[in-house]
Structure formats: C-alpha cells, structure tokens
A and B are shown apart, each in its own frame.
Chain A
Amino acid sequence: MELLRFFTAGNVDDGKSTLIGRLLYDSKSISTDILETLTKQSKSTGVDADIDLALLTDGLRAEREQGITIDVAYKYFTTDKRKFIIADTPGHVQYTRNMFTGASNTDLAIVLVDARHGITEQTRRHSIISNIVGIPHVLVCINKMDLVNYDEEVYNQIKADYTHFAESLNLKKVSFIPTSALTGDNVVKHSENLKWYQGPSLFEFLETVEIEQDFKTQEARFQVQYVIRPQTEELHDYRGYAGSILSGSFKKGDKIAVHPVDLTTTIEKIEKFGQEVEEAHAGEPVIIHVADNIDISRGTTFVPNTTFVPNTTFVPNTISITDGNTIHTPSQSIQTEKTFEAIVCWMDNKSFQPGQKLLLQQNSFRSKAVIKEIDNKINIYNFKSEPSDGSLHLNDFCKVTIKTAETLSFDEYANNRKTGSFILINENTNNTVAAGVITS
C-alpha cells in the first residue's frame, strides 16, 4: 500500500472543510462516537443539515467558537489502495504561512474553486503558493456544481480560465474535477447529475493518481543526523553516520565527496537496521561508514564524487523565479556557497529587522545567517516581481540574498526539494520566522 500526502486550499466559503468531511464520511473513516458528537454540535451551530461535515475538521475550541481554522490540521484515511494524509490549511490570506507549511511536504494540492465565482484572487494565490513550494501536481476541484445546475459550460469555462492562468506558472501537472461536496456528487461516487463528465471521481483520482518520485532519480544526497559511537569493548572503533538518504542512491564502494569540508572518501559499509546492505535508496534511514578518518559531524553532506550524468527519463522540475516569462533551468551538481539567492516566506508576526540575527537550518545543518538583501517582492496574486521597500512582513514572499557563516551545500529547490529548502530561526526568540527555497 502506498502513502499519498495532499493538502487542500480554498476560500472560507469554497466548501473545503465540507469536502474533507465528505471524503472522511463517505469513506467510512469516521467513528460513530465522533459522529454523535458532531450531530450534537451541528445542532448547536444551527447549520441546516443532519451533520455539518465542516465540523469534522475543526479542532480547537477557539476555532469552533469563531467558526474559523487557525492552523494546519492533519487528517487520515485509508482505503484498500492507499493511506492518505491530509494537511487541511485555512484559506484566509492571513494564514498564507500555514498554507505554505501544509503544502511543504505534500505530493498533491487540491485547489477548490466555487463554480459560481470561478477563478478568484484566492485561487491565484493558492496556486502560486503551490507553485513556489513545488507541488508536483495540482488538482482543481470545481465545487458547488449543484448551485450552477451541474452545467458543463460553467465547468469548461473555469477549466479554460484556469488553464490560461496556469500558463504563466510552471505547474507540472494540473487536473480538473467537478464536484459538490455538500451533496456528495462525484466525491466518492460518480454522479447522475454530472453524466457529461467522464473522468474519475475525486476518490478514484486520489486512489490512482501517480505519486511523483523525482527524488529517486535525482543525484545522490545524504546528510548526517547523528554519529553513532558505541565505544564499547567489542565496538571500540565503530563510527557510523546515521541519517536518511535524501535523494538518489548510494552503494557500498561509492567514491563520495564530503561537504562542506570538501574531502573525498569511499563508502565502506552501509547498514540498515543492523544488517549490511549493498545499496540504499532515497528515503531510507541508514548508517554509513566511510574509509577515511575525516572530520564528519551532524549536518555534513555526502554526494557522489563523480560528474553527474542525468537519467534519460529525468525531467528537471522548474520554477519561474522572476515572472512567467523567465524559466530558470537549474544546474545538476551540488553547490557549496556562503551566499545564495532564495524565495522566502516570512512567517513571524514580527516583521524582519535589518541585521536580525538568524540561524539557517537545512535538514540537520545549521549555521548563523543574515538576510543581506531583499531583492524584490513577489506579488502572490499574479506572481510578478515588484520592487522591495526593504521590509519583510508576515505572509510576504520575497526574493532575498542570504549569507551564512558556514558553507552551505545545496541544490536549487527546483532540482531537489530536500537540499534546496531551509528555515530561518530567530536566534533570540528561537521561533521559526521564515521558510525558503533556494533559487540560485
């Protein structure tokens, strides 16, 4: 069985929570005791339905009282084919950071569009965020079809509008499905009302959509999380580097370059759960032993010490970094720099202060860092670059130049989501104040 992680984006009134509630309800993932509680609550909120499905995804009392979602909530359901993890994120513009957070490690974005209103500013914003975070696949759910008499014309028009808009982005894959979350049309079951639609229901789509596994074909990357040194009598000289293969594969005997110290060595042994293995692949937690005694610690990156020959089937994931007309094609080999450019999303309530002391964290690597320059601001409604006034406020997306104290080993995010992403931590408050994707 496979795992699919997806996130949902939509306006407050697009029926996002109802849609998720419907998925959980119709897939029989809700227990009777929870349904009982919901029936009680639905009565007290006065919603005119037996059960207000939206209540299924509202968690905290504070949210229930205000009727809003303040955070990312995770929901789970399982079918015979897949386990699903849903990151349910709020739609309001003031929760852009939550959306970015929820989207960061998902395979699929579901963007909800109200069939009555078509593409709105919010649709654009949600899609642009999906684009920046590099979601492999966007599904546009044209919802509330019941309120437009299940009209095929309406669906086709929205589909055309969205396709036109998406041309200015570099979304890798876009799909469309007409639904009504409230009535359940085409969510789990095919609908009599939408006979003109030949594609899968949302549920069938989720069960069968191909899960992107780019990281398997990318160049090999490994980062040390923790050094295992038992220092017992029988394991006196044991020194293993524990971590997960971030992308690609490593084999016993591979010549590797170790960054940032920039030394080369050979993989002597790969262990997985106490067993020696010949080869390890993206995603696997392993312990790697190397031939030479060199300075390796937490945050050290291993890469192949060869020129990378791209797999013939490999299509680089590209994102546009200025506006729709400029496609940036990333390079393939690891970069080791102290200065680089990135798009950051500012996530702290307090705005950025010039000279603010920050820590950059990329996987397990940490270094002191500063934002040297705010190059320009990205308009999240049209993806155009605008001149920056030098400020960075909550939910802003800006193109910045970052300087780190230690040398960072990275790939451009478009090339590798694992080594091209980072967070910025305020050294004073310890809060995560920004998330970024490296562009060059």
Chain B
Amino acid sequence: MLHCNIPIKKDVAQQHPIINPKTQKKVDYLDQLEAEAIYILREVAGQFERPALLFSGGKDSICLVHLALKAFRPGKFPFPLVHVDTGHNFPEAIEYRDNLAKELEEKLIVRYVADTIKEKNLQDGKGKFPSRNGLQTYTLLDVINEFEFDACIGGARRDEEKARAKERIFSVRDEFGQWDPKKQRPELWNIYNGKIDQGENVRVFPISNWTELDVWNYIKRENIQLPSIYFTHERECIKTEHGQWMNVNEFVQLEPTDKIEKVKVRYRTVGDMTCTAAVESEAHTVDDIIAELKDTKISERGATRMDDRVSEAAMEDRKKGGYF
C-alpha cells in the first residue's frame, strides 16, 4: 500500500524538456505538512474566543499536541485539551492522557459518557460489543455548550474515510453540531473563514492532508512517545465474524462459542475497547510499524473499526449528526 514500484527510465528528464534535471535544495514534505498544520492552529488561536483541542489519546491527537507545542511555546496553549471519556477507553490511553497534561502543565477537561447516559436517561450500548460511539456525540455537544467552545480542533484526516475526504479544514457546524456537506464554505489558498454566529462552532482539522503513513513518519522524525498499545504485545482476544481480533474485556459479552486466544497484536487506531480491533503484529518500534504499513493491504479504518461497517455512508450520517 502507498508504495509503488514502477521502472522509471533514467533518461526521462532528458526526453522531456519541461523536466528540470537540476537538483535543487528541496523542502521535505513533512516540513510542509507540519507548517500547514501549525498555520491552521495559529489561525484558530487568532480567530476564536474559546477554542478547544479534542484529545483522544490516539496518535493523531498526540501529533496535534506536539504541533501545538511548536505553534505556541513558550506561551501556553490558547485552548484546553478536552477528552470525551466513553468509559470504554484503553487504560493505557487514559494514563498517557493524564501524564501528558501534567507534564505539559496544560488544562485538561474530561467529560464522561456514563454521566450523560445517567443525566439524559439514554439507552446504553447493547449487544456483544456494546458501542458508545453514537452516545459520545451527546457528551461532545454538551461539553461544547458547557464551555461555549467556538472551535474544536480534531485529528481527523481526509485519507481515513471518503466523507472526511470532502470535509473542509474549517468545518462549520450549526448549533446541533450538524455537518451539511452541501453548505460548506469554499476554502481557498490558505485563507480560513472561521466567522460564525453565536451558538455555532467550527471543527478544525489541521492534519487533514496527512495520511496514516505521514503520521508515522512524523512520529519517527520527531521522536514522539506513544501509548504502549500501538506496539506489539500479547493480548487475550476473540476473533469476530469478520476475522478481526477483539480484545477480551469487561464490556464484551462473551458467547459460549467464543474461543479466547493469546495473540501478538498492536492497535492501528485507539478508539473504544468495544469497537476497535487489534491487528496481528510483531512491530516493536516505529520503524517496524512503518515497514508494516508499507506492506499492508488493508486501510486503517477497514482494519480496526467496527463502526464504519454498518453501511456505505456510516461516516457521512454520523457527521451530519454532530460527530467528528
């Protein structure tokens, strides 16, 4: 994946007059992606009164925090880190989150889906893998209202999913958090229009143009530390009907036919324990992961997410409902 091996004729440059054979000092693409993300983060700081950075403990939001350090130090972040805790998170991700906020001396706001379920008398997730994926949208919208956040920065990338591929970097949501793909503002050059009315908010995606492999190459270059579950470890899992490895934990309703196996796995994405599948892996280091990704044939969400399997337009629908 993301790799091609085609024979390139060495004399192409000579054959074609428009190609400049001169070697010039080139800017690395990671520098360009980084610069774009920092530019966007600073636009958020400049344009909004009460922004927030939605932090999940996953690699993408960890990269965002790293980029924010580069954008704002020696100043403090002009936004708190906000985490919507579903109660189904991996303990390693929660521990990482708490340590990070403490180490950086930045403000962390945590709101719990369990509290929202109680307050609003909602139906908790059911079934074998009880998902709180839909429920976290309630908590997210509540925390946005509570602090009157006018911009929420997230680590979504356009390569993840095709509805994301069409979302703007500054994505205006109405007071219900809804995304309307047909009413998106044109986004030109590097000019971001974050002007909104009271009650509306903007979701901002600074690493829209990064792919999964870009994120890993950046993590490697910047030597960013990650929660341990991204690397290979032994874990008790069961195999789902789609052939995915699901972690055995207190939330998963085991069936008599389920066979618990000890497998060497890692996580490609860190979501809820109930809807994120592990992938078999021997990758101990970031380099191992990059090598593995170059070989893999399955997309990130395809490999790890049960929530997008529901329908072709699952993400499009969830975004329209206020999801990230």
Cα A64 to Cα B312 in complex, Å, equals 10
Q: Is the CB of A76 within 8 A of B158?
A: yes
Q: How far is the CB of A302 from chain B (nearest CB, A)?
A: 15
Cα A225 to Cα B31 in complex, Å, equals 19
A430 near B: Cβ within 8 Å? Answer: yes
User: With A74-B158, A79-B3 known to touch, is A432 a contact of B193 (CB < 8 Å)?
Assistant: yes
B275 near A: Cβ within 8 Å? Answer: no
Interface string of A226-266 (1 = CB under 8 A from B): 10111000010010101110000000000000000000000
Q: Is the CB of A430 within 8 A of B196?
A: yes
Q: Is the CB of A244 within 8 A of B188?
A: no
Tell me which residues across on chain A come within 8 A of B71, comparing CB atoms: 242, 285
Interface string of B18-44 (1 = CB under 8 A from A): 111000001111111111001100110
Q: Is the CB of A105 within 8 A of B163?
A: no
A29 near B: Cβ within 8 Å? Answer: yes
Count of inter-chain pairs, beta carbons less than 8 A: 216
Q: Which of A149-157, A196-204, A315-323, A400-408 is the contact stretch?
A: A196-204
Q: Is the CB of B9 within 8 A of A204?
A: yes
B147 near A: Cβ within 8 Å? Answer: no
Cα A209 to Cα B186 in complex, Å, equals 28
Q: Is the CB of A33 within 8 A of B298?
A: yes
30 contacts between A and B (CB under 8 A): A2-B29, A3-B29, A27-B6, A28-B2, A29-B1, A31-B299, A60-B163, A62-B181, A64-B312, A70-B181, A71-B166, A83-B29, A83-B211, A105-B188, A173-B18, A208-B13, A226-B45, A229-B75, A244-B38, A273-B73, A283-B27, A283-B31, A285-B70, A285-B71, A363-B191, A421-B188, A421-B189, A421-B191, A423-B193, A432-B187
Tell me which residues across on chain A come within 8 A of B189, comparing CB atoms: 104-105, 417-418, 421
B15 near A: Cβ within 8 Å? Answer: yes
Tell me which residues across on chain A come within 8 A of B73, comparing CB atoms: 273-274
Q: Is the CB of A347 within 8 A of B186?
A: yes
Cα A28 to Cα B298 in complex, Å, equals 11
Cα A104 to Cα B186 in complex, Å, equals 11
Tell me which residues across on chain A come within 8 A of B181, comparing CB atoms: 60, 62, 70-71
User: With A60-B181, A78-B211, A100-B188 known to touch, is A226 a contact of B313 (CB < 8 Å)?
Assistant: no
Chain B contacts with A in 43-66, Cβ cutoff 8 A: 43, 45-46
Tell me which residues across on chain B come within 8 A of A435, comparing CB atoms: 186, 188
10 tightest Cβ-Cβ pairs between the two chains A and B: A33-B302, A3-B29, A31-B299, A59-B162, A210-B20, A61-B313, A225-B42, A104-B188, A27-B4, A228-B75
Chain A contacts with B in 81-114, Cβ cutoff 8 A: 82-83, 85, 97-98, 100-101, 104-105
A175 near B: Cβ within 8 Å? Answer: yes
Q: How far is the CB of A104 from chain B (nearest CB, A)?
A: 4
B274 near A: Cβ within 8 Å? Answer: no
B85 near A: Cβ within 8 Å? Answer: no
Cα A199 to Cα B296 in complex, Å, equals 33
A351 near B: Cβ within 8 Å? Answer: no
Cα A64 to Cα B162 in complex, Å, equals 12
Q: Is the CB of B188 within 8 A of A423?
A: yes
User: With A28-B1, A83-B29, A209-B19 known to touch, is A422 a contact of B191 (CB < 8 Å)?
Assistant: yes
In the complex, the chain A residue whose C-beta lies closest to that of B157 is A76
| Among candidates A26, A105, A203, residue contacting B190 with C-beta atoms closer than 8 Å | A105
List A residues at the B interface (Cβ < 8 Å).
Answer: 1-3, 26-34, 37, 41, 58-62, 64, 70-80, 82-83, 85, 97-98, 100-101, 104-105, 137, 173, 175, 188-190, 198-200, 203-205, 207-210, 225-226, 228-230, 235, 238, 240, 242-244, 273-274, 283-285, 298, 347, 359, 361-364, 417-418, 421-423, 425, 430-432, 435
Interface hub of B29, B76, B197, B303 (most chain A Cβ within 10 A): B29
User: With A208-B19, A283-B35 known to touch, is A363 a contact of B166 (CB < 8 Å)?
Assistant: no
Interface hub of A34, A209, A362, A418 (most chain B Cβ within 10 A): A34
Q: Is the CB of B2 within 8 A of A29?
A: yes
Q: How far is the CB of A66 from chain B (nearest CB, A)?
A: 12
In the complex, the chain B residue whose C-beta lies closest to that of A72 is B166
In the complex, the chain B residue whose C-beta lies closest to that of A283 is B35
Cα A355 to Cα B39 in complex, Å, equals 33
Q: Is the CB of A60 within 8 A of B299?
A: no
Q: How far is the CB of A216 from chain B (nearest CB, A)?
A: 9
Q: Is the CB of A228 within 8 A of B302?
A: no
Q: How far is the CB of A308 from chain B (nearest CB, A)?
A: 23
User: With A59-B163, A173-B18 known to touch, is A188 a contact of B6 (CB < 8 Å)?
Assistant: yes
B209 near A: Cβ within 8 Å? Answer: yes
| Among candidates B33, B43, B158, B165, residue contacting A3 with C-beta atoms closer than 8 Å | B33
Tell me which residues across on chain A come within 8 A of B262, comparing CB atoms: none
Cα A363 to Cα B184 in complex, Å, equals 19
B195 near A: Cβ within 8 Å? Answer: yes
Q: How far is the CB of B17 from chain A (nearest CB, A)?
A: 9
User: With A74-B208, A242-B71 known to touch, is A188 a contact of B46 (CB < 8 Å)?
Assistant: no
For the complex with contacts A70-B182, A71-B166, A430-B197, 4 further pairs of A-B residues with Cβ separation under 8 Å are A175-B18, A208-B16, A359-B195, A421-B191
Cα A225 to Cα B185 in complex, Å, equals 21
Tell me which residues across on chain A come within 8 A of B1, comparing CB atoms: 28-31
Tell me which residues across on chain B come within 8 A of A205, comparing CB atoms: 16, 19
In the complex, the chain B residue whose C-beta lies closest to that of A28 is B4
Cα A421 to Cα B70 in complex, Å, equals 27
Cα A61 to Cα B163 in complex, Å, equals 9
Chain B contacts with A in 108-154, Cβ cutoff 8 A: none
Q: Is the CB of A31 within 8 A of B15?
A: no
In the complex, the chain B residue whose C-beta lies closest to that of A35 is B297
Q: Is the CB of A242 within 8 A of B166?
A: no
B310 near A: Cβ within 8 Å? Answer: no
Interface hub of A83, A200, A205 (most chain B Cβ within 10 A): A83
Tell me which residues across on chain A come within 8 A of B191, comparing CB atoms: 361-363, 421-423
Q: Is the CB of A34 within 8 A of B302?
A: yes
Tell me which residues across on chain B come within 8 A of A79, comparing CB atoms: 3-4
In the complex, the chain B residue whose C-beta lies closest to that of A4 is B29
Q: Is the CB of A200 within 8 A of B46?
A: no
Q: Is the CB of A32 within 8 A of B298?
A: yes
Q: Is the CB of A207 within 8 A of B8?
A: yes
Cα A189 to Cα B4 in complex, Å, equals 12
